[in-house]
Amino acid sequence: MEKSPLLHSLEQLLLRNNRDGDALERLLQLDLPVLLQWEWESEVIQAGIERLHAWEMRFARQYPLVYQRLRQSTARRSQATALLQQIRVDVHGTPSDNMWRALLVLLRESERHDWGVWKADAQMVASNVQDEFGVDAIHFVSRDGSIRVARFQRNQLLSHSISLESPSVMQAWTVPFQEAVVLQLQNNQVVWIPTAKNGLIRSSLESPLCSQVNEDPLLLMASTEDRAAAILVRQRDVLLFDHATQEEPPGKHWRQLLTHELYEPRRIPVTAMCFVLDSLLLYASADGVLRAHPRTNPESTYHVKWLDSHVSHLVGLYNVVAIVYHYNQLEVRHVERQPEDPFVRLDTVLFSAKGVDPDERPLLYGPYCLFKRQVGGEWMRVRYDGSTTRALPLPVKLPFKAGWPIVRIRSANWRYWIVTLQDPATKKLGDYIFFATGGRSSNMATPFLVASCLECGKRLS
């Protein structure tokens, strides 16, 4: 097969050692499918890409904030590597051992409209919303009072069940990478449930996190990628579980797992919180001030920014934070370190939108932010990272489920989305899992025991 003139000229440029800068610039300007094809066809191109670190340079130019996040966060980089080992991102039938190349291909795959789709057979689904790469456990809370703990692997799904003393579960949150789930029961008690397969299967429901029956706990959870979680109860009591430096938890009861307990002023309730830079617990108060507690010394408080507005939601993803104001405006801001107090700044606005539903929590993953419009209830996706930003309706097309409205997106990451849909005929709600790698469900890692196939309707077990 005869080579194209452009491919031949690029090969000649790479063979000249004194023209590496020009060769790299030309490699970065190529469309991704063309570069992948030429890498496969030409050993010279392949060697040049490896020598010039072209895949990493391309990723850094195309997604600078995601690149910064992966470079600075060892935990996120290891989670990305774990994901890529499990989903097998192949190009021309050859697995990619370059993380940056594989992530670029995965992002391209996520733009497709033929996602693998599965229906979750559970009352509710809880996942770690800070699990950017989808490698932590998912908790499926059943109506019979049991929790199935599922973890996707390369060619299988690892799964086990635990029983609950009370089946009346109202809300569920996965504790990040700590083998536990937090449940809010019908009587408003909030309980910590260990979910390790070989550990104590339940925490005492007589010793809950919040025991005031019939008092709304107004619970919020913030978490990091490296085993730290903060739980806000009644808008003022912050329970911090930070076990990033411990190989094993010190105990099984939640009081033994608690590392710090903070009390915010009653007259200034906390309205939203999240972790940023894996080092600061950022929170917004009713007085319009954004403050932060450092993980190294949680008793300290930094005055970060005067927002002059009530904040409905704060969603952090290391170096990015999404803020939803009560007047229906969304801002995605860049989070940067600074040497002086408060040691962090959020001055750069990456994206802003009006008419956002303040009751729905936005989501961040990769270079994207998901949010819901107040008028019409349409979910939107925006790319906040890079030289251009654009808001688009979510590219979701359900096989055999056309016209089903998206009620809520519970979590979103590089691997999957958990989406609540409404049956237009019966008005019943159901949770569905969308696998971002696309393709028919038979080609996916089969999520047996917790899902049924939309194509054939068969339950896999």
288 occurs within a structural domain: no
Is the pLDDT at 167 greater than 70? The verdict is no
One DSSP character per residue, 285-305 reads: ETTSEEEEEETT-TT--EEEE
> What are 277-332's pLDDT values in tens digits?
989 999 999 999 999 999 889 999 999 999 988 999 999 999 999 999 988 999 99
Share of the chain above pLDDT 90, in %: 31
The residue type of 13 is L
> What are 267-280's pLDDT values in tens digits?
889 999 999 998 99
234 occurs within a structural domain: no
Confidence of residue 398 (pLDDT cuts 50, 70, 90): low
Instruction: Give the separation between CA 354 and CA 335, rounded to whole angstroms.
Output: 21
214 occurs within a structural domain: no
Is the pLDDT at 215 greater than 90? The verdict is no
Angle subtended at Cα 326 by Cα 323 and Cα 332, rounded to the nearest 5 degrees: 15
Extract long-range pairs of 134-138: CB within 8 Å, 24+ residues apart: 134/83, 134/413, 134/414, 134/415, 134/416, 135/79, 135/82, 135/83, 135/86, 135/415, 136/174, 136/176, 136/177, 137/174, 137/179, 137/195, 138/174, 138/418, 138/450
- The answer to whether the beta carbons of residues 204 and 189 sit under 8 Å apart is no
> What are 338-391's pLDDT values in tens digits?
998 889 999 999 999 999 999 999 999 999 999 999 988 888 888 899 866 565
Instruction: Give the separation between CA 314 and CA 14, rounded to whole angstroms.
Output: 47
Pick the closest to residue 105 from 43, 11, 37 (CA basis).
37
pLDDT of residue 93: 55
Indicate the number of domains in the chain.
1
Of 132-146, 182-196, 346-360, where does mean pLDDT reach its minimum?
A: 182-196
Phi and psi of 36, rounded to 5°? Answer: -65, -40
- The answer to whether the beta carbons of residues 120 and 408 sit under 8 Å apart is no
78 occurs within a structural domain: no
The residue type of 191 is V
Cα atoms found within 13 Å of the Cα of residue 377, Cβ hemisphere only: 8
Q: Give the single-character DSSP code of 373.
A: B
Q: Mean pLDDT of all residues in the chain?
A: 80
What spatial distance separates the first Cα and last Cα of the chain, rounded to whole Å?
48
Helix crossing, 54-62 with 43-52: angle to 10°?
Answer: 60
Q: What is this structure's pTM?
A: 0.86
Instruction: Give the separation between CA 175 and CA 153, rounded to whole angstroms.
Output: 19
Residue 198, number of CB atoms within 10 A of its CB: 7
212 occurs within a structural domain: no
- Residue the block writes with tokens 């929590």: 361
> What is the residue range of 25's domain?
1-52
367 occurs within a structural domain: no
32 occurs within a structural domain: yes
> What are 37-79's pLDDT values in tens digits?
888 889 999 999 999 999 999 999 999 999 999 999 988 999 9
Residue 279, burial from CB neighbour count under 10 angstroms (0-12, 13-18, 19+): middle
pLDDT of residue 441: 37
Share of the chain above pLDDT 70, in %: 80
15 occurs within a structural domain: yes
- The answer to whether the beta carbons of residues 418 and 363 sit under 8 Å apart is no
